[in-house]
Amino acid sequence: MTRGIYCVPTTNQSLLLGPTAVDHDDRRLKAVDAETLDAVFAAAQRLVPSVRREYAIKTFAANRPASDPVYRVAVDSRIENLVHAAGIRSTGVSSSPATARMVRGLLAGLGLPVDEDRRDALRALEPIPRLLGHPEPEQLFALDPRYGQVVCACEQVTAAEIAAAHEMAVPARSLEGVRKRTRATGGRCQGALCMAGVSFLHSLHHNGPPWRVPVSEPDATLGVEQ
């Protein structure tokens, strides 16, 4: 189920082509196949004829949240301290303020002190200032001298940004986690020049051997035990 194929300019100055949508039950199933990719490129070229397959930097499939029933905003039927705000298909961003109000009502219904003024609560994650596109990079060096060390050259991600991704309130626990927070390894070369360096920084932060660095899920390790 999808509204069709889009060509979406991203904030990373790249173009996102797709999506398709296929229902399945296995959340680990994230395979791409040649036939679907051919169809996506053909459809994208009808919109933007200059799109060239040879410049594709990454092809991927991912999971969208799906649940039965849909729009599950409720206290869990079995676990008393679990509130769901899930199964919201396509309208997640636009419905989020209303969903938040509903969740607040549910929490109040559980007898929780939702009116308490908690000034120490974390309302938003601290953004990590980026070198890429920064008009005055000099200002960044005062924040952290590690801005002088560019680790991922394609996306211009520095050691300072990677350190911040590991030390923030919701720290990165995998290479994918670092990529999603900083874009490191996500550029044109897809980590061909920097993934080893990012892995070593990750293993230092988590004090474990580099082979055990998770690429994505905890058991998907970079290397193997010798």
Partner 1 sequence: MTAVAVVGAGITGLACAASLVGESEVTVVDRIPVAGGVHGWERPETERLLAEAGGARMLLGETAIHWDGRELMVIGQDGARRVAVDALVVATGTRPLGRAELAIEGGRPAGVLAATVACHLAENGVTCGLRPLVYGGGDWAARAVRELLVAGAIRVTVVAPDGVHTSFPPDGRVLVRTGLQVVGVTGSPRVESVRLAGGEEIACDALVLGHGLVAVRNVDGAVWAGQRVVFAQPLDDPASVAGAERVGREAAEAVRSAL
Residues that bind partner 1 (CB under 8 A): 28-34, 37, 54, 56-61, 131-132, 137-138, 141, 145, 147-150, 153-154, 156, 158, 187-193, 195-197, 199-200, 209-211, 214-217, 219-226
Q: Is 156 left (phi over 0), alpha (psi -120 to 50) or beta?
A: left
To partner 1, the closest distance from the beta carbon of 6 in angstroms equals 18
Nearer to partner 1, 12 or 96 (CB): 12
Please write down the long-range contacts of 29-34, taking CB distance under 8 Å and 24 or more positions apart: 30/60, 30/61, 30/62, 30/63, 31/61, 32/59, 32/60, 32/61
Please report the DSSP string for 71-89 in residue order: SEEEE-SS-TT-EEEE---
- Tell me how crowded residue 57 is: count the other CB atoms within 10 A of its CB: 12
To partner 1, the closest distance from the beta carbon of 182 in angstroms equals 15
Nearer to partner 1, 44 or 154 (CB): 154
To partner 1, the closest distance from the beta carbon of 162 in angstroms equals 14
Which run of H or E residues covers position 188?
A: none
Nearer to partner 1, 165 or 195 (CB): 195
Nearer to partner 1, 105 or 148 (CB): 148
Is 6 within 8 Å of 18 (Cβ atoms)? yes
To partner 1, the closest distance from the beta carbon of 155 in angstroms equals 9
